[in-house]
Chains A and B, each alone.
Chain A
Amino acid sequence: MVMESNKLLEVTGLTMDFGGLRAIDQVDFSISAGEIVALIGPNGAGKTTVFNCITGIYEPTAGDVVIHAPGLAPRRINGMRANRITSLGMARTFQNIRLFPAMTVLENIMIGRHCRTSTTILDAILRTRKSVRERHETIEESYRLLAKVGLAEVANEFSANLAYGAQRRLEIARALATAPFLLLLDEPAAGMNPQETRELDELIVRIRADEQVAILLIEHDMKLVMNISDRIYVMEYGKGIAQGTPREIKENPRVIEAYLGEEVHA
Chain B
Amino acid sequence: MTHFKRSLVIGLWFMFLALPLMVVRVNTLNHEIEWRWANMLWLGFCAFALAWFWRASTERRAARQALGVAAGRPLLAKLSWAQRLSDDPALSRRLLLIVAAAALIFPWVVSTSQNFYHVNIMVSALIFVVLGLGLNITVGLAGLLDLGYIAFFAVGAYTYALLARNFDLGFWTCLPLGGIMAMFFGIVLGFPILRLRGDYLAIVTLGFGSITKIVLENSEELFGGAAGIAGIPRPDLFGLVLDGREKSLYSYYIVLALVALTIFVTNRLKNSRIGWAWMALREDEIACVAMGVDMARTKLSAYALGAFWAGLVGVIFAAHNNFINPDSFTFMDSAMILSMVVLGGMGSILGVIIAALALKLLPEYLRAVAEYRMLVFGAVMVLMMIFRPQGLISNLRRKYERAPADESDGHGK
Contact = CB atoms under 8 A, between A and B. Distances in A.
Interface stretch (A41-49, A130-138, A187-195, A240-248): A130-138
A110 B300 CA distance: 21
A98 B292 contact: no
A55 interface: yes
A188 to B, nearest CB: 15
A224 interface: no
A139 B403 CA distance: 9
A91 interface: yes
A66 B113 CA distance: 76
Q: Is the interface of A mostly helix, strand, loop or mixed?
A: helix
Interface string A110-148: 111111110111011101000100111011100110010
Interface in B251-295: 265, 268-269, 272-277, 279-280, 283-284, 286-295
B94 interface: no
A156 interface: yes
A111 to B, nearest CB: 5
Given A98-B284, A143-B402, A125 B291 contact: no
Contacts of A147: 410, 413
Contacts of B295: 81, 83
Given A124-B273, A139-B400, A140-B403, A111 B293 contact: yes
Interface in A95-120: 98-104, 106-107, 110-117, 119-120
Given A103-B280, A139-B402, A178-B292, A114 B395 contact: no
A117 B273 contact: yes
A174 interface: yes
B283 A114 contact: no
A174 B289 contact: no
Contacts of A237: none
Interface in A58-98: 81-83, 86-87, 91-92, 94, 98
Contacts of B275: 124
Contact of A100 (B273, B284, B301, B403): B284
Interface range on chain A: under 10, 10 to 19, 20 to 34, or 35 or more? 35 or more
Interface range on chain B: under 10, 10 to 19, 20 to 34, or 35 or more? 35 or more
Contacts of B276: 103, 107, 110-111, 114
B406 interface: yes
A113 to B, nearest CB: 8
Contact of A114 (B265, B277, B301): B277
Contacts of A100: 279-280, 283-284, 287-288
Contacts of B294: 81, 83
A94 B272 contact: no
A82 B295 CA distance: 10
Contacts of B395: 102, 158
B268 A125 contact: yes
A91 B288 CA distance: 12
A124 B269 contact: yes
Given A107-B398, A178-B292, A143 B269 contact: no
B161 interface: no
Given A104-B398, A114-B277, A119 B287 contact: no
A205 interface: no
A92 B292 CA distance: 10
A57 B290 contact: yes
A113 B305 CA distance: 23
Contacts of B277: 111, 114
Interface in A134-185: 134-136, 138-140, 143-144, 147, 156-158, 161, 174-175, 177-178
B399 interface: yes
Given A111-B293, A114-B292, A114-B293, A119 B274 contact: yes
A143 B409 CA distance: 11
Contacts of B273: 113-114, 117, 119, 124, 131, 134-135, 138
A178 B291 contact: yes
Contacts of B287: 94, 98-100
Contact of B284 (A86, A99, A106): A99
A98 B284 CA distance: 7
Contacts of B398: 104, 107, 156
B397 interface: yes
B406 A156 contact: no
Interface string B49-82: 0000000000000000000000000001000000
A125 B290 contact: no
Contacts of B403: 136, 139-140
A144 B291 contact: no
B413 A119 contact: no
A91 B293 CA distance: 12
A115 B410 contact: no
Contacts of B397: 104, 156-158
**Residue among A92, A124, A178 having the largest count of chain B Cβ atoms under 10 Å:** A124
A98 B290 CA distance: 10
A158 to B, nearest CB: 7
A242 to B, nearest CB: 29
B410 A143 contact: yes
Given A83-B294, A119-B273, 13 more contacts: A100-B280, A102-B283, A107-B276, A111-B277, A112-B292, A115-B293, A120-B274, A124-B273, A125-B265, A135-B272, A139-B402, A147-B413, A156-B398
15 contacts: A81-B295, A83-B289, A91-B290, A102-B395, A107-B400, A116-B292, A119-B273, A119-B274, A124-B268, A124-B273, A131-B272, A139-B402, A140-B406, A144-B410, A175-B291
The 8 closest A-B pairs by CB, nearest first: A115-B292, A124-B272, A100-B283, A86-B292, A98-B287, A119-B273, A111-B280, A82-B289
Interface of A: 55, 57, 81-83, 86-87, 91-92, 94, 98-104, 106-107, 110-117, 119-121, 123-125, 127, 131, 134-136, 138-140, 143-144, 147, 156-158, 161, 174-175, 177-178
